[in-house]
Structure 1
């Protein structure tokens, strides 16, 4: 059997800090125009170093959620959904919204995969389905979830559309967290 490598996702500390800051903004705890705590305050709140805080803030500045004003601090901006990274948008979405969009994507993914798949794709899908059945029979729900995700990502990969596969992968990760 020849299984291709898949990217391993390791959550970085700065990503976690950025997500927590983003959640405060999304939840309305920090309104537009609110000055966020200073770097030293954030370092103390999160128990992290300055570079971690700077990286997290930089991500949110780039996403259009925060604005740095030289000599005055960092402030919450009017967020625009089009600038917000997909992972962050999904993290604050209602689970039903994620499932609905995933359902729409899966229809087109299945159609394209049926047209473009090859024998290797079929082999990967079958192996994932077999593993899914075996883990379910063994009562291994975590293994079942992993195998199910592997199956759906194999179908997405069979589309030969890397952007579609990446977008779908973001949805899968949001559903895994839920």
Structure 2
């Protein structure tokens, strides 16, 4: 391992000195993803890492265990090897793919999944789930200018629709990837200027149309409205 790579590791000492193995693992994972710790190089052994970061061996051991589970490193009798995370993504590591993806790819991914969740919700939603969806639809419509109320109600409205799809893999995939989409596409919409308010009011109209399609079990229409709704968010935020 080069001096520059050791310097990168030393910079995270302040974060790891508290003894949080998961935090240390996250910091090391970030360095690996950024290429600052190069693929196929060896991480320092436990004793060297303890000295470098001023933490106990149990912290290093647990952090390495987390990275091993994530597929970022391979631990052998001869040392701890850094894996090629880009190859991991190609081979099907979903979490690694999410960390390496750019916003355009993420938008494409959400546009594939979210409308499909609406499609299945129209076919599978129970009466109880329809009541829940309607509850948050009404909260959106009655936000009375309180942007925070609308933001929360909107999030729950869409979450309830996803769960009503009764497809655990679909729900999990959206949940795992939606954080970044929400941060860069959805949240910027919630402003108090006139243009944003007009857009948000139009979104509420689309919510009603989406709910009506689900209520009428019109799966194709629900999917279409959901996709148009998402694309409008993307256009407004870009």
Match of residue 59 from structure 1: 66
Q: Go from structure 1 to structure 2 and tell me whether the alpha carbon gap of 1:44 and 1:110 turns closer, same or farther (over 3 Å shift).
A: farther
Q: Go from structure 1 to structure 2 and tell me whether the alpha carbon gap of 1:104 and 1:128 turns closer, same or farther (over 3 Å shift).
A: same
Q: Go from structure 1 to structure 2 and tell me whether the alpha carbon gap of 1:136 and 1:44 turns closer, same or farther (over 3 Å shift).
A: farther
1:18 is matched with which residue: 25, 30, 45? 25
The 5 A counterparts of 1:122-161 are 122-133=130-141, 137-140=145-148, 144-161=150-167
Q: What CA RMSD, in Å, does the superposition of the two structures yield over aligned residues?
A: 2.8
Q: Distance in 1 between matches of 2:170 and 2:82?
A: 32
Q: How many residues align?
A: 162
Q: Distance in 2 between matches of 1:98 and 1:75?
A: 29
Match of residue 111 from structure 1: 119
Q: Could you say what secondary structure the match of 2:63 adopts? A: helix
Q: Give TM-score scaled by structure 2 length.
A: 0.57
Q: What's the CA shift string for 1:36-91, capped at 9, x where partnerless?
A: 23435555776765444323322322333211122x4312122311353x334323
By percentage of residues, which structure has more helix? 2
Q: Distance in 2 between matches of 1:146 and 1:46?
A: 41
Q: Go from structure 1 to structure 2 and tell me whether the alpha carbon gap of 1:77 and 1:128 turns closer, same or farther (over 3 Å shift).
A: same
1:175 is matched with which residue: 175, 181, 185? 181
Q: Distance in 2 between matches of 1:106 and 1:24?
A: 31
Long gaps (5+) in structure 1 = 1-12
Offset at 1:170? 0.6
Q: Give TM-score scaled by structure 1 length.
A: 0.73
Q: Could you say what secondary structure the match of 1:68 adopts? A: strand
Q: Distance in 2 between matches of 1:44 and 1:126?
A: 58
> Which protein has the larger Cα radius of gyration, Structure 1 or Structure 2?
2
Q: What's the CA shift string for 1:84-139, capped at 9, x where partnerless?
A: 3x334323321222121011001211111100011221222222333445558213
